[in-house]
Structure 1
Amino acid sequence: MAINGKQSQPNAASIIRWSGLAAIAGGLIFAGIQPIHPADYLTSVTTGTWAAFMYAKLAMCLFFLVGITGIYGRQANRAGWLGLAGFALLIVTWFLQAVFIFTEGFILPIAAGVAPQLVESFLTLANGTQPTMDIGPAGAVYSIAGLCYMLGGLLFGIATVRAGILPKWAAILLAVAAVVTPAAALLPHELQRLAGIPVGLAVAWLGYGVWSLRQSVLAHASAEAGLGQAVR
């Protein structure tokens, strides 16, 4: 049992460490696409550029789900209930975002030719204009995703600072960027997306913190395993 214990803990630490790369990839994609994202209008959804961006964004959501889980796992024993709440909200955020992105990437291009008014109304969720058709609960769900994004980033950033394991300034950047996100609504639409850049960079920075802590993680896991063996 002791041997298995020694093997399992470093393996868990290695998995968490590799999740840091997912956070780096997701954060850099999120930050990088903001200035060059195609316009959220009907004329865009049937283009190859739109399809490429939606595929990249789906991958980004997967990276975020894995990466944020690893960031939380690295500090779970010190992040407390605040960290758990922030983690849960961010997971809900990126799960819902994946659903919307899947719709934009795979359903809207097909529907554009037969129901253009519906497609335009759905795109108002992103471009901030008024829909001309009823799109059901999509608007409410989109608002929930946005609220989870803001509160999750704030709580997770604060909990990460308090945990004191990962880069403090990355956590502060995440919390502050999440709080000021609503202010982006005051900017012209073409500039609103830029508010996502600091959030993406913050997550990538935290992911690098997880990735670069390999030696300390393994040393800590080995020390705990050795202590457990000594107690036995």
Structure 2
Amino acid sequence: MVGGALYFCAFGAAYLIYSLFAEQAQGTFFGEHAFIHILDVAMFALLLVGAVGVYLRQSDRIGKVGKAGFYAVLAGFGLSVVGGLTIIVVGLAVSDEATLGVLDVITHPLAHVLYAIGSLVFGIATFRAGILPRGGALLMAVGPIWLFASFMIGLGDTVLPILVPVAVTALGWMWLGYALHSERKETSVEPEPAV
């Protein structure tokens, strides 16, 4: 739930910093490449934990293909966390320019491919399992692949074509997280006999 909200906030912050306030942020810590990764490392770590929760709730009902999708999501989110942490360390220890090379070019596309394709497969498996809300599963499945396709066709610098799939993805993960949290609350509040 929190990972989905942070997903939307991190993309919103990136847009504000690097588009609307690019001139003001230039030369400050907020304009550094490492800054945005401080937000997205936390985001991807929380999404990773959420994905594990979704998987554990339905692991016996999603089949081998669904499990493969989950592992791809896990690898994508994990690579995003490790890559983001590396960019933060290199950016703060060496220089911001050092983060914009091979490290950034390899980490982002590979992580995005893994979690986009994995989310599509895992989301469809979650939808078919029917244990968690199907609407949330559908949003979680469609959002990342839509965002990836938007970047691939050159819409990465435009706001609305990027904001919509980001919002779809965020809402999907928040919905699934809320469902997991609600289930846990309901099972913990079972009436006990007075005697």
Q: TM-score, normalised by structure 1?
A: 0.66
For 1:125, the equivalent position in structure 2 comes to: none
Select which of 115, 137, 157 maps to 1:189: 157
Of 79, 93, 102 in structure 1, the residue corresponding to residue 76 of structure 2 is: 93
For 1:79, the equivalent position in structure 2 comes to 62
Which runs of no fewer than 5 residues in structure 2 stay unpaired? 190-195
Whose Rg is larger? 1
Q: Summarize the Cα distance change of 1:218–1:95 in structure 2 as closer, same or farther, 3 Å threshold.
A: same
Distance 1:49 1:202 in 2: 30
Q: CA deviation at 1:162?
A: 0.7
**RMSD, aligned CA:** 2.9
- Aligned residue among 180, 183, 188 for 1:213: 183
Greater RCO, CA 8 A, separation 6+: 1
- The equivalent residue for 1:203 is 173
For 1:39, what is the secondary structure of its paired residue? helix
1:154 corresponds to which residue? Answer: 120
Deviations 1:86-142 (A, max 9, x none): 1101110111101221133221133327xx3x44x43xxxxxxxxxxxx2x763453
Show CA shifts across 1:161-190 (max 9, x none).
Answer: 111010101111111223322331232515
Determine the C-alpha separation between the residues in 2 that align with 1:216 and 1:62: 26
The CA deviation at 1:45 is 8.0
CA distance in 1, matches of 2:158, 2:93: 25
Percent sequence identity over matched residues? 29
How many corresponding residue pairs? 178
Paired residues for 1:114-193 under 5 Å:
116=97, 118-119=98-99, 121-122=100-101, 135=102, 139-185=105-151, 186-191=154-159, 193=162
How far is 1:149 from its partner?
Answer: 1.5
CA distance in 2, matches of 1:193, 1:102: 24
- Indicate if the aligned counterparts of 1:87 and 1:152 stay in contact, CA closer than 8 A: yes
Q: TM-score, normalised by structure 2?
A: 0.77
Shift in CA distance, 203/44, structure 1 to aligned 2, threshold 3 Å? farther
Is the CA contact (8 Å cut-off) linking 2:69 and 2:119 kept in structure 1?
yes
Counterpart CA distance in 2 for 1:46 and 1:98 is 24
Aligned partner of 1:111 among 94, 106, 111: 94
- 1:33 corresponds to: 10
